[in-house]
Chain A
Amino acid sequence: MKRFSFSTLMLWAGLLFIYLPMIILVIYSFNASKLVTVWGGWSVKWYVGLLDNTQLMNSVGRSLEIALYTAIAAVALGTLAAFVLTRIPRFRGRTMFGGMVTAPLVMPEVITGLSLLLLFVAMAQLIGWPQERGIVTIWIAHTTFCSAYVAIVVSARLRELDLSIEEAAMDLGARPWKVFILITIPMIAPSLAAGGMMSFALSLDDLVLASFVSGPGSTTLPMEVFSAVRLGVKPEINAVASLILLTVSLFTFFAWFFSRQAEERRKRAIQQAMETMAEEAASSNWKPASTQAA
């Protein structure tokens, strides 16, 4: 194959298109000049100013809290959904279940946000809960759409798994839940971690859903940034934006790094087990059927 085919060229151009704006943003966040378009030398003063902005810092704390709860709940819910989709072939309402799991991926956020808010308002009237919209309602909204992402990631892994290990455990008398906790969970752990990090990032990022289902006094970071951005480009926002970019990049990198390490450990363990078996076979008189025949 040619080294520089059309598709390779497009790939590099595309990556440049994706990353250049972000790099420019980060560079300009170090601009000393108050005018965002004029370069006035390097400075970190916009970053220093952020720390004194209590309103902003409060929203950062709130967003992190919601993201943490969301990640935990979405992993639990998404894994259950993935398990149902890949391991339980037949039950009443299966088609509907499959639809409900994947639909949040594509549903326009304004529709999801509006409908959830109207649900919360109706619930408040009917059963008196939630009295106030805030962290809990945002958490519910985020968990609902993040679990769809987790379900996709985890079900891909569940499909790849060797069922014979689970079946062996079952034959040896383990109860289904014990098999799930002792065997299935450790084997899908890297995708659980990836799904959790993904949910964390998605929740931290969401503006539209949070705007609909939040109440007074529960502004999240994206909502704070959005109201500032609407007024135009400012160096302080460049600094906030760069910090968010940095955080998420680090997160993604670690998610990738750890899942790769886990994968390598797994491969090494399998290889080691094979080698031990081969050694044992060689030292004893036992020989595999194929070599005996030869």
Chain B
Amino acid sequence: MRIPKLSNLLPTGRHLVIGIPFFWLFLFFMLPFAIVLKISFAEADVAIPPYTEIYTWADNQLQLILNLGNYLILSEDELYLAAYLGSLKIAFFSTLMCLLIGYPMAYAIARASKEAQTVLLLLIMMPTWTAILIRVYAWMGILSNNGLLNSVLMGMGLIDEPLQILNTNLAVYIGVVYSYLPFMILPLYANLVKHDPSLLEAASDLGSSTFNSFWKITVPLSKNGIIAGSMLVFIPVVGEFVIPELLGGPETLMIGKVLWQEFFNNRDWPVASALAVVMLAILIVPIILFNRNQAKELEGKV
């Protein structure tokens, strides 16, 4: 047997380059999910931290006690079920609206001149760098009963008394579409700008109408952009907390908000963990879909 040289055991440059980001992401992104899973099987306790250990070591026996109670609570209490469904519904329709509004916008940017493209992209991107909190807050002032929108509508004589928009689901939809629209536009633009315009010219030479060639050529070619944009909107919106908290009302049930309350107000860490585990289970398919898409994009194989 060959004795390995010491230099073979030490990490080489290549190992370090891969190892540093791998280790960081593993420690601070992957491992935490395992801990959430573990705590979701624990019992709430009046202690610091406020949950019981799921395994004990006594009489040379390792005992593992999985408490399924948290998951039973989730399935039995209608509040949680309604929150999951509410989140999925709001995320689905907001994604659809972002797609319908964002697609033409991305298309127009991709067709603009090179100079205009950079400026327009900057205009679209800037809000994503700006506090989402502040942009949601701006809508509070506009949508409230004595806010700007109602004042304008009443001033124009269109309505006699203020419309109740703030603290309803409508306000949540407005806030979500407003906040996540750039995340739809950017991947769509990145995709659309790569299209070869000669394909469309060829189609129109062969007598295809503008709409027909758009539907048969541009849309299928932009499939990857549509998937990336939709997932970039859908997945975070399911867990959204700030928007339903500030713009939503009692009818607004979203899982991110419920999780926040379980954790911060009820201090029930195991139930909050179970909520997160189920949310992750629901989102795992879209997340894998997005990751595949993005991995191809990152490696430039599209």
Q: Which A residues lie at the B interface, using CB under 8 A?
A: 1, 5-8, 10-11, 14-15, 17-19, 21-22, 24-25, 28, 36-37, 77, 80-86, 88, 91, 93, 95, 97-112, 114-116, 118-119, 121-122, 125, 140-141, 143-144, 147, 151-152, 155, 159, 176-177, 197-198, 201-202, 204-205, 207-208, 211-212, 222, 225-226, 229-230, 232-233, 237-238, 241, 244-245, 248-249, 251-253, 256, 260
A residues in contact with B236, CB < 8 Å: 106-109
Instruction: Tell me the complex Cα distance, A222–B28, Å.
Output: 23
Instruction: Tell me the complex Cα distance, A106–B228, Å.
Output: 10
B residues in contact with A102, CB < 8 Å: 290-291, 294-295, 298
B132 close to A205 (CB less than 8 A): yes
Instruction: Tell me the complex Cα distance, A237–B14, Å.
Output: 50
B241: CB under 8 A from chain A? yes
Task: Name the distance in Å between B284's Cβ and chain A's nearest Cβ.
Answer: 11
Within 8 A of A (CB), among B243-302: 245-246, 256, 259-260, 263-264, 269, 272-273, 276, 279-280, 283, 286-287, 290-291, 294-295, 298-300
Which of B29, B185, B294, B299 meets A144, CB within 8 Å? B29
Instruction: Tell me the complex Cα distance, A10–B287, Å.
Output: 30
Instruction: Tell me the complex Cα distance, A205–B63, Å.
Output: 44
Describe A's contact surface by its main secondary structure.
Answer: helix
B32 close to A118 (CB less than 8 A): yes
Instruction: Tell me the complex Cα distance, A7–B109, Å.
Output: 9
Contact stretch, chosen from B3-11, B68-76, B78-86, B139-147: B139-147
Task: Name the distance in Å between A117's Cβ and chain B's nearest Cβ.
Answer: 8
Can you report 13 residue pairs joining A to B where beta carbons are below 8 Å apart? A7-B108, A8-B108, A25-B134, A84-B21, A99-B291, A103-B287, A111-B36, A112-B29, A115-B276, A177-B13, A225-B131, A233-B140, A248-B129
Task: Name the distance in Å between A238's Cβ and chain B's nearest Cβ.
Answer: 8
- B237 and chain A: residue at smallest CB distance: A108
B33 close to A115 (CB less than 8 A): yes
- A155 and chain B: residue at smallest CB distance: B298
B156: CB under 8 A from chain A? no
Instruction: Tell me the complex Cα distance, A225–B206, Å.
Output: 59
A21 close to B131 (CB less than 8 A): no
Instruction: Tell me the complex Cα distance, A226–B191, Å.
Output: 36
B137 close to A81 (CB less than 8 A): no
Which of A11, A114, A122, A202 meets B272, CB within 8 Å? A114
Task: Name the distance in Å between B195's Cβ and chain A's nearest Cβ.
Answer: 14
- In the A-B complex, the 4 residue pairs with the closest CB atoms: A108-B239, A115-B32, A10-B104, A11-B108
By CB atoms of chain A within 10 A, which of B13, B101, B138, B246 has the most?
B138
B residues in contact with A1, CB < 8 Å: 111
- A200 and chain B: residue at smallest CB distance: B129
Task: Name the distance in Å between A241's Cβ and chain B's nearest Cβ.
Answer: 4
Task: Name the distance in Å between A99's Cβ and chain B's nearest Cβ.
Answer: 5
B25 close to A101 (CB less than 8 A): yes
By CB atoms of chain A within 10 A, which of B127, B269, B283 has the most?
B127
- A105 and chain B: residue at smallest CB distance: B232
Instruction: Tell me the complex Cα distance, A101–B30, Å.
Output: 11
A residues in contact with B118, CB < 8 Å: 256, 260
B295 close to A22 (CB less than 8 A): no
A residues in contact with B232, CB < 8 Å: 105-106
- A108 and chain B: residue at smallest CB distance: B239
Instruction: Tell me the complex Cα distance, A226–B240, Å.
Output: 15
Instruction: Tell me the complex Cα distance, A151–B120, Å.
Output: 23
Task: Name the distance in Å between B48's Cβ and chain A's nearest Cβ.
Answer: 9
Which of B26, B141, B283 meets A25, CB within 8 Å? B141
A119 close to B148 (CB less than 8 A): no
Which of A15, A81, A109 meets B123, CB within 8 Å? A15
Known: A205-B129, A252-B125. A233 touches B241 (CB 8 A): no
A88 close to B283 (CB less than 8 A): no
B residues in contact with A103, CB < 8 Å: 29, 287, 291
Task: Name the distance in Å between A280's Cβ and chain B's nearest Cβ.
Answer: 31
B residues in contact with A84, CB < 8 Å: 17-18, 21-22
B residues in contact with A81, CB < 8 Å: 21, 25
